[in-house]
């Protein structure tokens, strides 16, 4: 189901390192459960924390623009004149990067993707850095961002946010909106924090889903 969502990670210094847009099944029983299971795995969490220093947001790096432009030019496009798609000229390394970091289908699986990614298979222009897209601004539009989850190493919390927020005082400061954005978003403010769980004392999946679904029904 197309329930749009965000998967985020904050490092132990408070820096946002992952802000991944997801297209599908953002409900607590979907991507929420995926993140919960990941967060319960201490080995995976340790590997994630170790790799965070090797992550960069490519939309915040001007030096990466040249590669992005070249990548986009290699992607297939609709040719109106010839009424057909142009060839897909992406390389094997381009596809590896897209499949492991960029596709909207990854959703919460971006976490497993990050810790298993082989940087030697990335395009040489990446210089062994894992480049992700910073989509955190999506959280400012709670009409479309229905759920968001954040592993926060600084606070040692798993943060859970929900959308459909029409109250300025409820939006989380990380997703603060301007009035022109609210007007554009049909009166919806940024997403609101509804639950926090201690990473060392996470609930069962059943309790996690039940508690967040109860939050969903609150006005």
Count how many domains the chain has: 1
Residue 112 forms part of a structural domain: yes
Residue 212 forms part of a structural domain: no
Residue 170 forms part of a structural domain: yes
pTM for the full model? 0.94
pLDDT tens, residue by residue, 77-130: 887 877 889 899 999 999 999 999 999 999 999 999 999 999 999 999 999 999
Mapping DSSP onto H, E and C, the string for the chain reads: CCCCEEEEEECCCCCEEEEEEECCCCCHHHHHHHHHHHHHCHHHHHHHHHHHHHEEEHHHCHHHHHHHHHHHHHCCCEECCCCEECCCCCCHHHHHHHHHHHCCCCHHHHHHHHHHCCHHHCCHHHCCCEEECCCHHHHHCCCCCCEEEEEECCCCEEEEEECCCCCHHHCCHHHCCCHHHHHHCCCCCCCEEEEEEECCCCCCHHHHHHHHHHHHCCC
Residue 218 forms part of a structural domain: no
Evaluate if residue 196 carries a pLDDT over 80. Answer: yes
Domain containing 106 equals 5-204
Residue 109 forms part of a structural domain: yes
Residue 91 forms part of a structural domain: yes
Residue 216 forms part of a structural domain: no
Residue 153 forms part of a structural domain: yes
pLDDT tens, residue by residue, 25-82: 999 999 999 999 999 999 999 999 999 999 999 999 998 999 999 999 999 988 787 7
């Amino acid at each position: 189901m197309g329930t749009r969502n965000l998967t985020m990670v904050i490092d132990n210094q408070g820096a946002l390192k992952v802000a991944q847009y997801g297209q599908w099944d953002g409900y607590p029983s979907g991507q929420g459960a995926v993140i919960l299971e990941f967060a319960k795995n201490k080995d995976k969490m340790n590997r994630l924390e170790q790799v965070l220093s090797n992550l960069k947001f490519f939309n915040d790096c001007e030096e990466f623009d040249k590669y992005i432009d070249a990548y986009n030019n290699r992607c297939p496009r609709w040719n109106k004149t010839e009424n057909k798609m142009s060839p897909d000229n992406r390389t094997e390394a381009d596809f590896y990067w897209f499949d492991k970091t960029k596709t909207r289908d990854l959703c919460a699986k971006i976490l497993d993707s990050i810790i298993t990614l082989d940087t030697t298979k990335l395009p040489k222009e990446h210089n062994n850095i894992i480049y992700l897209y910073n989509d955190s601004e999506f959280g400012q539009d709670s009409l479309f961002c229905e759920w968001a989850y954040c592993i926060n190493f600084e606070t040692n919390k798993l943060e859970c946010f929900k959308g459909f927020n029409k109250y300025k005082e409820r939006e989380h400061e990380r997703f603060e909106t301007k009035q022109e954005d609210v007007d554009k978003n049909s009166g919806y403010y940024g997403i609101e924090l509804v639950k926090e769980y201690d990473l060392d004392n996470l609930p069962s999946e059943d309790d996690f889903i039940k508690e967040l679904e109860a939050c969903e029904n609150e006005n």
